[in-house]
Amino acid sequence: MELIFLGPPGAGKGTQAMAIVEKFGIPQISTGDIIRATMRSDSPLGGELRTYTDAGKLVPDELVNRMVKERLAADDCKPGYLLDGYPRTVQQAETLNGMLIQEQRALDHVLFLEVDDAVLLERVTGRRSDPTNGRVYHVKFDPPPADVAERLIHRADDTEEVFGKRLAEYREKTAPLVPYYERKGLLRRVDGLGEIEEIQARLFAIFER
């Protein structure tokens, strides 16, 4: 099963990914998580990546493509994977196509989570992430249990100011992937508004078709 999760920042990709990867026994490959892990390592590359993420800008395609290529070669990707936050540009999508062809694989679905801008802002600014496992919570919609609350972080790019820049990047560079995958017959539009369980049911209905 090869899946892509597409949607603006705060659409709920990371949250919904958890149930999907469990259902299919495939890994969630989040380029945002890979990038944050590299930034925590204090390597020169980490410093370079931070200049982009802190400004709400996309990391250059070449860097992200290289990271993904390496990650997809790992053994746990043999049964498939859920790509979360990749591809984010047409160039990345073309690179992914090349990788899929080489591996004689094909995408099953591109899951596109649709959410209004006002809701996105509220989701992003209230988001808290667990740095130990990437699990995300929301102070209002999905409050963390007391024992993990202490270690949660508020990402530097989850502020209102940086969110505006991330959304602009999304509109300019990532949104063109919607018609791109629509033309390939792979796009599945999913209403991303509502309770976590409701949205999950809409996503799972796609796999039943």
Catalytically active residues, by annotation: 13, 88, 127, 155, 166
- Do the strands 2-6 and 81-84 form a parallel or antiparallel pair, or are they unpaired? parallel
58 near ligand AMP, rule: CB under 6 A: yes
Beta strands in 7-159 (DSSP E): 28-30, 81-84, 109-114, 127-129, 136-138
52 near ligand AMP, rule: CB under 6 A: yes
Which of these ranges, 37-45, 83-91, 106-114, 115-123, lies near ligand AMP under the rule CB under 6 A? 83-91
157, 167, 181, 188: which one contacts ligand AMP (CB under 6 A)?
A: 157
- Of the pair 171, 201, the CB lying nearest ligand AMP is at 171
CB of 92 to ligand AMP, least distance (A): 6
Q: Is the alpha carbon torsion for 135, 139, 141, 146 positive or negative?
A: positive
- How far apart CA 175 and CA 177 sit, in angstroms, is 5
Q: Which amino acid is at 170?
A: Y
Q: Is the alpha carbon torsion for 78, 82, 88, 90 positive or negative?
A: positive
88 near ligand AMP, rule: CB under 6 A: yes
Segment 20 to 49, residues that bind ligand AMP, using CB under 6 A: 31-32, 35
Which stretches of the chain bind ligand AMP, using CB under 6 A? 9, 31-32, 35, 52-53, 57-59, 64, 85-86, 88, 92, 157, 166
